[in-house]
Structure 1
Amino acid sequence: MSIQYIDSPDQIENLCRQIANEPWIALDTEFLREKTYYPKFCLLQIAAPGWVACVDPLAITDLSALFEAIYQPNIVKVLHSCRQDLEIFYQITGKIPGPIFDTQIAAPLLGFQENPGYAMLVSSFLNVNLSKAHTRTDWSERPLSADQIQYAADDVIYLCQIYTAMCEQLAALGRLHWLESDFALLNNPELYQLSPENAWLKIRGKNKLTGKQLSIMQSLSEWRERTAQQENKPRNWLMQDDMLLELAKLQPVTLAELAKIRNINERTVNRYGKALCALVEEARQRPPKPMAGKENAVKKNQQHEAILDVLSAVVRIRAEENSLNPVILASRKDLEQLLFGDEDCLLLHGWRYNMAGRELQGLLQGDYSLSLKPEGVVISAA
């Protein structure tokens, strides 16, 4: 298949016409993020049956017409593991190009493991082993070689074939509509908004901090995120997570105290020391933001464990009936969330709710009962 390499504005109009004639298109991006906070958008690959194009966003400064064509709501956008790609689209346009079909999300309904890699799907569906020759390519370098362009184009060429096969198999199983609510969640802008105020939630080890320590860590995490955004640098270039935790524990309020902390970068002390000490001093004077669920956390007892065992049995039964790995349907953690009333539990949304969540919720609320009969476990209305 001939690859259209789009690197001038006068080529965009013809590409937009091609897109407008398609019910769906496959999309992928190449970007760099090793040295920046925000991804540097380097290449956009677009394909449909019969054609493929690679668009150079470094050569074309105005892609508004192209994005308008892509964002048309009557065209399904097919991606694999789409979160980072959609983040780029959101940062550029402030919108999500729905409707979305993510092959990584769909794959478990066809018996694959959770979050399968793209290479696995290409191998399984097409019996093709993807080349790794350009895995470490610097996509910002120009000109791109013919091999690099082919490598990038292959991602969407194969994605078209996988999507077609997936839709046929899911339709045959009556499962294609199961994914609608899962894909709809990808249109939530909050998934792609980088909030400094909530940066502390992603730091491991925060649960071991209390009182002033937690307040300091929250304040420093917000500072690091805002500074990384302003300077467009990776957050860990400014300060590693373990150093944030160390500062929260040691609580330095002078430059001398800060400089004595083991492994802290001298450049960090010189450039940001006064601001860091001021943040520590201020955070010590106020209570921390509460950790979600901590106040209402329930300590599991043997009765809880027994209930979880019963729920797990139902999950195994429903998973076997639908030829799924039980872990794909619900993990033990998912069942705990359901038991303790977590509204974000996966079993309360999408196809999982229809397959098992409704029944499990009914059992917990007493609307259903479970009995053992010669033919097996039977769930019936109470």
Structure 2
Amino acid sequence: MSVFQYVSDEASLNALVAQYQQSKLLVLDTEFVRTRTYYAKLGLIQAYDGKTLALIDPVAIADLSQFWALLADPTIVKLVHSCSEDLEVFAHYGQCQPLPLFDSQIAAALCGMGHGLGYAKLVETCLDEVIDKGESRTDWMHRPLTQAQLTYAANDVLYLHQLYPQLQAKLHAEGRLAWLYEEGERMTEGRLAPPDLDTAYLKVKNAFQLNERQLAYLKVLAKWRMEKALARDLALGFVIKDHGLIALAKKQPKTIGELIKLNDLTEQEKRIHAKDILRIMQTADLVNLPELVDVLALKPGYKSAFKTVKTCLTELCEHHGVPQEMLASKRHIHEYLQWRWNEQRGSLPTVLCGWRAELAAQALEQLVL
């Protein structure tokens, strides 16, 4: 059983932070609940410096500011596993991002151990320890937490600390330690920026189906939905689902009667939001219309060009022992083609940045697309 300190008051937390400030490595994990909310509900923070394993109770502690400041300390390496959701939690609750960042899942991939390796599998492979994952679907907001829940949470950082020397040594031997930290910087980029309300419509599924006039309606509707979601801390789909917004933008109801006839909205959505929706739709700017949503994949030659780039990158992945998902994913290829076909305007695609550029830039430049 893990030995841990349960921290549920500010004085204990601040004493712990003072200790952690002396460390060069801090292991981190979070437990949270997300069902209907826009933001995850933070239930527990696990931290371990190799000496004190702490389970920090954010439900009981009102002021976590000193702990959040610790995460931004550039002299302490923050060790995590598959951390994208943790980063979202840190951004929302702490307005911070943990840098420098060492993600053990990415480290394992760069070491040739496989892409997307789960924590339990990584621990079993490297340490020959079997972790009980029985509490993974627990309600982390419920108090008091059981001994089984606390032990499960503690184990999530206990073994990660033991994995670090192995992964670090392998990356150093491969000359890829700098790649790992570069990935950490890339993962944390832009996470502290507030949601962009004016471009929310671009993320609505099937927005590409709409003409400019319909997009003008979708733009104000998506902005309104995002504002509602943020104000009430509701997942977007629990305000109105994407296909409901698309239907409204296409059919443009002018009266309650017309809106009620729409089958794409639930009865609850109509009852709660009908007046708001009609009011918001009247604010659409029908003079300065948005541009059509450009769907690259529908352009002539896309499939052929995609295959050419994928073949090139896949060969590079095999040659260098890098997982395809890190260099030749669908998103990476799509982003590259968009940049290439847009006369190389705008930000460089990911595949032409940092260590990826070292591997791929020259080969991609020679492709005829």
Which band: TM-score by shorter chain?
Answer: 0.7 to 0.9
2:252 is matched with which residue? 251
SS at match of 2:282: helix
Q: How far is 1:243 from its partner?
A: 1.3
Shift in Å, 1:287? 4.7
Displacement over 4 Å in runs of 4+: 291-298, 311-314
Spell out the pairing of 1:210-225 with structure 2 (5 A cutoff).
210-225=211-226
Aligned to 1:34: 35
Q: Is the 2:253–2:259 contact (alpha carbons within 8 Å) kept by the matching residues of 1?
A: yes
Which residue number corresponds to residue 12 of structure 2? 11
- Number of the residue aligned with 1:377: none
Backbone CA RMSD of aligned residues: 2.8
Is 1:227 the counterpart of 2:231 in the alignment?
no
Paired residues for 1:230-309 under 5 Å: 230-262=231-263, 264-283=265-284, 285-290=286-291, 299-300=300-301, 305=305, 309=308
| Residue 182 (structure 2) pairs with residue 175 (structure 1) | no
Relative distance call for 1:326 and 1:93 in structure 2 (3 A) is: closer
Is 1:318 aligned to residue 316 of structure 2?
yes
User: Shift in Å at residue 219 of structure 1?
Assistant: 1.8
Give ranges in structure 2 of 5+ residues lacking alignment: none
- Cα 1:125–1:193 change in 2 (3 A) is farther
Give the structure-1-normalised TM-score. 0.84
How far apart in 2 are the matches of 1:251 and 1:215? 11
Q: Deviations over 1:282-303 (max 9, x none)?
A: 327345433565599963279x
Q: Is contact 1:19–1:70 with CA below 8 Å preserved after alignment? A: no
- Contact 1:212/1:283 (8 A) holds in 2: no
Task: Tell me if structure 2 keeps the 8 A contact 1:253–1:278.
Answer: no
Distance 2:302 2:33 in 1: 48
Matched AA of 2:328: A
Aligned residue among 350, 356, 362 for 1:352: 356
Q: Which secondary structure state, in structure 1, belongs to the residue aligned with residue 316 of structure 2?
A: helix
Identity %: 31
Q: How many Å apart are 1:42 and its aligned residue?
A: 1.4
State the one-letter code of the partner of 2:281: V
Superposed CA offset, 1:77-114 (max 9, x none): 11222232222222233232322122233332122444
Structure 1 partner of 2:332: 334
Q: 2:366 aligns with which of 363, 368, 371?
A: 363
Q: Deviations 1:305-354 (Å, cap 9, x if unpaired)?
A: 4x963x55543443233223445332466345254347442211122111
Letter in 1 for 2:199: N
Contact 1:224/1:238 (<8 A) preserved: yes
Give the Å deviation of 1:228.
0.9
Structure 1 residue 223 displacement after superposition: 0.8
5+ residue gaps, structure 1, are 366-382
User: How many residues of Structure 1 are paired with residues of Structure 2 in the alignment?
Assistant: 361
Cα distance, 1:362 vs. partner? 4.1
* Equivalent residue letter for 1:217: L
* CA distance in 2 between partners of 1:107 and 1:292 (Å): 38
Q: TM-score, normalised by structure 2?
A: 0.87
Contact 2:208/2:293 (<8 A) preserved:
no
Contact 1:37 1:229 in 2 (8 A): yes
Could you tell me which residue of structure 2 aligns to residue 380 of structure 1?
Answer: none
Higher mean displacement: 194-203 or 314-323: 314-323
CA distance in 2, matches of 1:258, 1:115: 45
Corresponding position of 1:76: 77
